[in-house]
Amino acid sequence: MSRPAHRRPEYHKINKDLFVLTYGALVAQLCKDYEKDEDVNQYLDKMGYGIGTRLVEDFLARSCVGRCHSYSEIIDIIAQVAFKMYLGITPSVTCNNSSKNEFSLILDKNPLVEFVEELPAGRSSLCYCNLLCGIIRGALEMVHLAADVTFLQDRLKGDSVTEIGITFLKKQDEKKYRRKK
Amino acid sequence: MADTVLFEFLHTEMVAELWAHDPDPDPGPGVSAGLRGEEAGATKGQKMSLSVLEGMGFRVGQALGERLPRETLAFREELDVLKFLCKDLWVAVFQKQMDSLRTNHQGTYVLQDNSFPLLLPMASGLQYLEEAPKFLAFTCGLLRGALYTLGIESVVTASVAALPVCKFQVVIPKS
């Protein structure tokens, strides 16, 4: 049975490149609009957050994962199912503290930077992939988990690996719904 | 393998930024720009506009054009290039072919997509008709960029009569 046209490997690659290239164009545009790296980083995080809040529904619909009972289960699902599904990579997971609420995802390969050799001149604090942090944060918040998500290491900045740190925060005190006198 | 949904979400987010920060182009006689305390979006750095989206699409279209299989670059006629966009490029990017291609054989082409994937999730019919152009700007640039890589300079515009049907008009000036 011959392959239908849209399954040709070249098209698959073009499709994959579309997101990566669009992301690159977005970062380039933001660098034009904002002088400070922190502003670009913040903006990328904010956009990622918006994407994450919707992506999580898409993820849950496609993956049919069951309820998680611990933070480390959730992190495993993010690394082994979500990253695999959307970016085709499986970061490795480490737990950074004994209270089991701080984790790291170590990205060996990162498709987002496929066409990026180095950060632009004068942009040494740019977190090129900050969209990812926002996406993870937004997605977790939609399942009622507050977390800080940041890049701890970044190959583009000269570190040996790219590492995303995820710290689950204590849940908000639910007493805010108490009736006022 | 980046799923297509990632691109669609990213595109939606980019357009949403345009919506959120688009200053009222005509505030009316009673409203002074000073009330907003800043120049229309400029100091906040939010300059997403239709032309910016189109420009980003152009860059991406150029880059995609460079990644196309080599044999596609040897076209005999302009019409072949447009057919290629309607079939191969559209399939690669949107997993479907363009639904129709018309031309006056004098440099103007109208490409019609009856279920444009970036409009599909929004609505069908006349709801959100005003917002539709924001969702087409990037793709217009994409077409223009791909054409550019294939050696053709063009002007690409889009129009929507009813979602999710849209028409892309490609005008190639005769030199």
CATH number, domain containing residue A39: 3.30.1380.20
3-state secondary structure of B164: coil
CB burial readout A63-88, b (16+ within 10 A) else e: eeeeeeeebeebbebbbebbbebbbe
Across B69-91, average pLDDT: 81
Q: Which amino acid is at A76?
A: D
Output helix, strand, coil percentages for chain B, rounded to the nearest 5: 45, 15, 40
**pLDDT of A23-57, one tens digit each?**
999 999 999 889 999 999 999 999 999 999 999 99
> Which positions in chain B have a beta carbon within 8 angstroms of at least one beta carbon in chain A?
1-7, 9-14, 16-17, 45-48, 52, 55-56, 59-60, 63-64, 67-69, 87-89, 91-93, 95-96, 138
A22 vs B10, B48, B67: nearest CB? B10
CATH superfamily of B4-15+39-171: Trafficking protein particle complex subunit 3 (3.30.1380.20)
Provide the percentage of residues in chain B whose pLDDT is more than 90: 46
Q: How confident is the model at residue B24 (pLDDT cuts 50, 70, 90)?
A: very low
Cα–Cα distance, B147 to B151 (Å, whole number): 6
Q: How confident is the model at residue A68 (pLDDT cuts 50, 70, 90)?
A: confident
Q: Where are the alpha helices (DSSP H) in B22-131?
A: 50-66, 78-84, 90-94
Per the structure, how many domains does chain A have?
Answer: 1
Which residue segment(s) compose the domain that A77 sits in?
5-177
pLDDT of residue A79: 95
Positive or negative, the Cα torsion across A5, A6, A9, A10?
positive
pTM, rounded to two decimals: 0.84
- State whether A15 and B92 contact (CB < 8 Å): yes
**pLDDT of B108-125, one tens digit each?**
999 999 999 998 887 777
Beta-sheet pairing, B108-113 with B165-171: antiparallel
Find the residue in A nearest to B58 (Cα): A25
Query: Which candidate, A70, A113, A122, A112, places its Cα nearest to that of A93?
Result: A70
Q: How confident is the model at residue B35 (pLDDT cuts 50, 70, 90)?
A: very low
